[in-house]
Amino acid sequence: MHEIDFRAGRLPGRAILSVGGPEAGHFLHNLLTSDIDHLGPGQAAYAALLTPQGKILFDMIVVAQDGGYLIDCGASQRADLMKRLAMYKLRAKVEIAARDDLAVGVSPVEVPGSYRDPRSADIGWRIIGAPEGEADGYDAARIRGGLADSAADLGSGEFFPHEANLDQLAGVNFRKGCYVGQEVVSRMEHRGTARSRILPVLLDGVAPPKGTDIRSGDKQVGTLLSSSGSNALALIRLDRLAEATAPLLADGVSLKVLKPAWATYDVPGAA
């Protein structure tokens, strides 16, 4: 995997909400894609809340802390996530609150109060507290590592968990009971029907804007997502990548598709 080479600090694009109360763990476990029931104090899980049709509404990192849970989510998505959780709350003994007193930070090395990013050990540690200063170079590091961002890449209601690699990044527990959208996700897993994946790409020049088509001749192979310099993420159709005979181009800029160290699936022709 790539060397961790960002500077520690706060991530302004992330925010915290808390879920507490005697039924908080059971509530989250029944909604999210990961195993929340068995999180011990200070442990974290990568998870998502899906639509009934199995697409990602919100991805998040859930941390067990102080008898409840802190959720590290996209700052621009927090209000909508809180509304969605409240919709499912019904009579459950659960309290949901925005925590503007807390911020999300990252560090390339372990520091007091930090925990390993549950998606990949190669993207360092995360911190919930009040880290000083903004992190520098983190977006470039996560893009090189093939990790999609909640707001910059995934949005809401656009991707299936397999497309966003949640099955590869410990974001789905296939042995737990039902959760929202579980049937679709299980079917994709057992049938191996994930044709598209978000993957890192390296361009021969500065990456064109998000949404630019990646083509091989007259065939679309993928679409660019977030970028940093000549590195970007892209949604790639693996079957079309396997069939590509002409060079891959995004708005005239040539590129290579890379295979992250954590990926267990085949990426045809990956560098």
DSSP, collapsed to helix, strand or coil, labels residue 75 as helix
pLDDT tens digits for range 12-53: 999 999 999 999 999 999 999 999 999 999 999 999 999 999
Q: What would the DSSP string read from start to end of 3-14?
A: ----B-EE-TTE
- Decide which of 261 and 271 is more confident: 261
Predicted confidence at residue 5, as pLDDT, reads 87
**How far is residue 168's CA from residue 182's CA, in Å, rounded to a whole number?**
16
3-class DSSP assignment, residue 242: helix
Q: Say what the pLDDT of residue 1 is.
A: 43
As a whole number of angstroms, the distance between CA 117 and CA 2 comes to 15
Phi, psi dihedrals of residue 78, rounded to the nearest 5°: -60, -45
Q: Which fold has domain 9-154?
A: Alpha-Beta Plaits (3.30.70)
Average pLDDT along the chain: 95
Average pLDDT over residues 58-62: 98
Q: What are the pLDDT digits (tens) for 146-203?
A: 999 999 999 999 999 999 999 999 999 999 989 999 999 999 999 987 899 999 999 9
Q: Please name every residue paired with 65 in a beta bridge, in sequence order, or none if there are none.
A: 68
Q: What is the largest CA-CA distance in the chain?
A: 58
**Residues 6+ positions from 43 with CB-CB distance below 8 Å:** 63, 64, 115
Alpha helices in 19-77 (DSSP H): 24-31
Structure tokens at 146: 């093939």
Q: Tell me what pLDDT residue 3 has.
A: 60
Helix pair angle (78-89, 24-31), 10° resolution: 110
Domain-wise residue ranges, the chain: 9-154, 196-257
What are the tokens at 61?
């990192």
Residue 18 amino acid letter: S
Q: Over the stretch 114-160, which tens digit does the pLDDT of each residue have?
A: 999 999 999 999 999 977 899 999 999 999 999 999 999 999 999 99
Which CATH class name applies to 196-257?
mainly beta
Determine the Cα–Cα distance for residues 190 and 182; give it in Å rounded to an integer: 12
Helical ranges in 121-233 per DSSP H:
138-144, 182-191
- Check whether 4 has a pLDDT greater than 90: no
